[in-house]
């Protein structure tokens, strides 16, 4: 069993499709292997080799997918959000200690400016728009000093470096080894029962662990194919669905909600779709959305639980005939998953509520250059090394994990702990509510108070008072939002997730510190 990306992709039939895209012929698995060899030669020719860090700044699409899986076989990949400003690229390139950067042919934007400041080797990616999806050539501008290590990446080499979101502190560097990435790709493939006959429609950004691992790596590891959209667009999604004919897609909850909002006007395409499953991850999926998606597409909705430090997947709802439980993130799906005491380094009984912890082959060896974070987030118990996820939850009698929320997002109202997810679930039952995110606002006496931001369904009306009264009929008084803000759109992060922390400031409900 291979513990590297190269090994995962080595044995699939050469003529089997691997990468597709709008109006492009397919790149085969054999073609992808040939591309990996050419890419390694181009890197080595530019003085870049095993262990050297290569930032990748490309738009979403098959070239970004192919660049990740090919560069990672010869060097260390560090995908970055193309929407960053110059100062952000400056920070990340310095923090990563990048040696080279992959940029599109002809691009001279902020990433190029930052790369010039740091003296990086620029690798220009060019492709033929009429050629196979994902096929490209790299041309180096300059050459790194020294002789590169031309050996293929080994299991204990770093394959991928990402940063944590840094919502409340400086982003932490998360190195994921080849063996971490390979293990997670296999775990996802196993939990979804992926075969070479499967095809994923990727709408996730490919600078994020969800798209890189759940859509791209797990599919390629299974010998399956991925049809790469140029990003998420609810207006174009149904056309892509009709063209690509995927057996599944994976997305974050806000994307699923946008798809649902347009499903009725695309009923013909929905009727033709032949999805074997729909996957959701990276944020909690409201139970109402899970049910509506399943009913709309006549397919099981598999909510999974992942994070960067786990090379994405930790738990997943199982496929039929086992139950997909709305509100649960499923059963352990790769690593061992337990709950632990939130301040003491000890595991708790499976039926207790505590901090979710994981141990397994997909878990990062630790944050880079951050001994304090490692001491806080990793501990030894029962002869294993455990990672603290920062999430609170408990298992039910059948081993399904139910999350209460991020520990730092739990609202402490005068000593009473309020789960934002619980309030979200109740407000989503209101017939006029389409999206909701519950969050804390500072309170001079109670410390924190409960608030909620709401987007109404198209054509529906409701007042903040009506929504609060609805909540009061179903929740204990201390859990009822004291303020409900009705918005056209809830602010989201770069990957489409709604972010609770800092929302009170973004909405002007509290002065910025």
Q: Where residue 148 sits, what CATH number does that domain have?
A: 3.40.50.980
Establish if 433 belongs to a structural domain: yes
What's the structural domain count of the chain?
Answer: 2
The count of other CB atoms within 10 Å of the CB of residue 499 is 17
40-57 CB burial, b ≥16 within 10 A, e <16: bebbbebbbbbebbbbbb
Distance CA 119, CA 165 (A): 26
Give me 28's structure tokens: 């085969």
Q: What is the end-to-end Cα distance of the chain in Å, rounded?
A: 52
Bridge partners of 332, per DSSP, are 315
Closest among 423, 431, 437 to 254, alpha carbons compared: 437
pLDDT at position 313: 98
Of 177, 207, 235, the residue that ends a domain is 177
Establish if 284 belongs to a structural domain: no
Return the percentage of the chain with pLDDT > 90, whole number: 88
Give the pLDDT band of residue 25 (cuts 50, 70, 90): very high
Of 125, 152, 177, the residue that ends a domain is 177
Give me 20's structure tokens: 């597709």
Establish if 345 belongs to a structural domain: no
Establish if 326 belongs to a structural domain: no
Closest among 306, 280, 283 to 291, alpha carbons compared: 280
* 208-257 confidence digits (pLDDT tens): 999 999 999 999 999 999 999 999 999 999 999 999 999 999 999 989 99
* 39-66 confidence digits (pLDDT tens): 999 999 999 999 999 999 999 999 999 9
- Judge contact between 342 and 368, C-beta under 8 A: no
pLDDT at position 174: 97
CA 274 to chain CA mean position, Å = 24
Establish if 149 belongs to a structural domain: yes
Radius of gyration of the chain (CA): 23
Establish if 249 belongs to a structural domain: no
Distance CA 306, CA 243 (A): 29
Q: Taking residues 96-123, what's their average pLDDT? A: 97
pLDDT, the chain, mean:
95
Return the percentage of the chain with pLDDT > 70, whole number: 98
Q: Which residue has the tokens 């075969």?
A: 195
The helix (run of H) or strand (run of E) holding residue 98 is none
81-95 CB burial, b ≥16 within 10 A, e <16: ebebeeeebbbbbeb
- Judge contact between 343 and 333, C-beta under 8 A: no
* 440-462 confidence digits (pLDDT tens): 999 988 889 999 999 999 999 99
- Judge contact between 142 and 477, C-beta under 8 A: no
Establish if 443 belongs to a structural domain: yes
| pLDDT above 90 (res 405) | no
| pLDDT above 80 (res 512) | no
* 135-177 confidence digits (pLDDT tens): 999 999 999 999 999 999 999 999 999 998 655 568 899 999 9
Give the pLDDT band of residue 269 (cuts 50, 70, 90): very high
The count of other CB atoms within 10 Å of the CB of residue 489 is 9
- Judge contact between 451 and 439, C-beta under 8 A: yes
Give the pLDDT band of residue 415 (cuts 50, 70, 90): confident
Percent composition of the chain: helix, strand, coil (DSSP 3-state, to 5): 30, 25, 40
Report how many helices (DSSP H) and strands (DSSP E) the chain contains, helices first. 16, 26
Distance CA 417, CA 410 (A): 7
Give me 479's structure tokens: 């859990």
Of 177, 202, 226, the residue that ends a domain is 177
pLDDT at position 493: 78
Closest among 117, 67, 71 to 91, alpha carbons compared: 117
Instruction: Give me the torsion for CA of 489, 216, 317, 412, rounded to 10°.
Output: -40
Domain extent for 451:
412-506
Q: Where residue 479 sits, what CATH number does that domain have?
A: 3.30.300.30
Strands (E) across 66-172 are located at 76-79, 100-104, 121-126, 137-141, 158-163
Give the pLDDT band of residue 131 (cuts 50, 70, 90): very high
- Judge contact between 495 and 471, C-beta under 8 A: no
Give me 220's structure tokens: 């390629």
The whole-model pTM stands at 0.90
pLDDT at position 428: 95
Give me 111's structure tokens: 């990433």
Q: Between β-strands 158-163 and 137-141, what pairing exists: parallel, antiparallel or unpaired?
A: unpaired
Give me 315's structure tokens: 């738990």
Instruction: Give me the torsion for CA of 372, 377, 381, 383, rounded to 10°.
Output: -80
Q: What is the DSSP letter of 25?
A: P
Q: What is the DSSP letter of 264?
A: G
pLDDT at position 13: 98
């Amino acid at each position: 069993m291979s513990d590297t990306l190269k090994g995962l992709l080595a044995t699939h039939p050469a003529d089997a499709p691997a990468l597709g895209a709008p109006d492009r012929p397919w790149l085969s698995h054999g073609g992808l292997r040939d591309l990996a060899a050419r890419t390694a030669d181009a890197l080595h020719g530019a003085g870049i080799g095993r262990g050297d860090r290569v930032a990748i700044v490309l738009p979403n699409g098959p070239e970004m997918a192919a660049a990740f899986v090919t560069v990672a076989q010869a060097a260390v990949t560090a995908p970055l959000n193309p929407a960053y400003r110059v100062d952000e690229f400056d920070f990340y390139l310095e923090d990563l200690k990048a040696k080279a950067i992959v940029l599109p042919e002809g691009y001279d934007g902020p990433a190029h400016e930052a790369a010039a400041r740091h003296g990086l080797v620029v690798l220009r990616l060019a492709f033929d728009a009429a050629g196979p999806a994902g096929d490209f050539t790299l041309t180096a501008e300059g050459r790194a000093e020294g002789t590169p290590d031309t050996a293929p990446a080994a299991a204990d080499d770093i394959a991928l470096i990402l940063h944590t979101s840094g919502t409340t502190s400086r982003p932490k560097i998360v190195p994921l080894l080849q063996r971490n990435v390979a293990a997670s790709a296999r775990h996802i493939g196993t939990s979804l029962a992926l075969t070479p006959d499967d095809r994923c429609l990727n709408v996730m950004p490919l600078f994020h662990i969800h798209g890189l691992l759940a859509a791209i790596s797990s599919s390629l590891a299974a010998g399956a194919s991925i049809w790469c959209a140029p990003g998420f667009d609810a207006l174009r999604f149904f056309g892509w669905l009709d063209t690509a004919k995927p057996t599944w897609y994976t997305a974050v909850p806000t994307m699923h909600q946008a798809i649902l909002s347009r499903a009725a006007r695309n009923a013909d395409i929905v009727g033709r779709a032949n999805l074997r499953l729909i996957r959701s991850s990276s944020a909690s999926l409201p139970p109402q959305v899970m049910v509506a998606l399943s009913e709309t597409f006549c397919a099981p909705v598999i909510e999974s639980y992942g994070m960067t430090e786990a090379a994405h997947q930790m738990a997943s709802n199982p496929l039929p005939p086992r139950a997909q439980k709305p509100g649960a993130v499923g059963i352990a799906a790769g690593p061992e998953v337990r709950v632990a005491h939130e301040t003491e380094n000890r595991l708790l009984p499976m039926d207790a509520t505590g901090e979710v912890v994981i141990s397994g082959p997909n878990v990062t060896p630790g944050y880079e250059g951050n001994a304090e974070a490692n001491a806080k987030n990793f501990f030894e118990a029962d002869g294993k090394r455990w990672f603290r996820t920062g999430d609170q939850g408990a298992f039910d009698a059948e081993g399904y994990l139910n999350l209460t929320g991020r520990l730092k997002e739990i609202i402490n109202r005068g000593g009473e702990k309020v789960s934002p997810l619980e309030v979200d679930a109740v407000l989503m039952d209101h017939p006029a509510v389409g999206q909701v995110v519950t969050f804390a606002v500072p309170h001079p006496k109670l410390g924190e108070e409960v608030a909620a931001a709401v987007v109404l369904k198209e054509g529906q009306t409701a007042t903040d008072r009506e929504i609060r009264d609805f909540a009061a009929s179903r929740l204990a008084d201390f859990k009822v939002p004291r303020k409900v803000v009705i918005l056209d759109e809830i602010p989201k992060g770069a990957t489409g997730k709604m972010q609770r922390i800092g929302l009170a400031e973004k909405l002007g409900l509290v002065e910025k510190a």
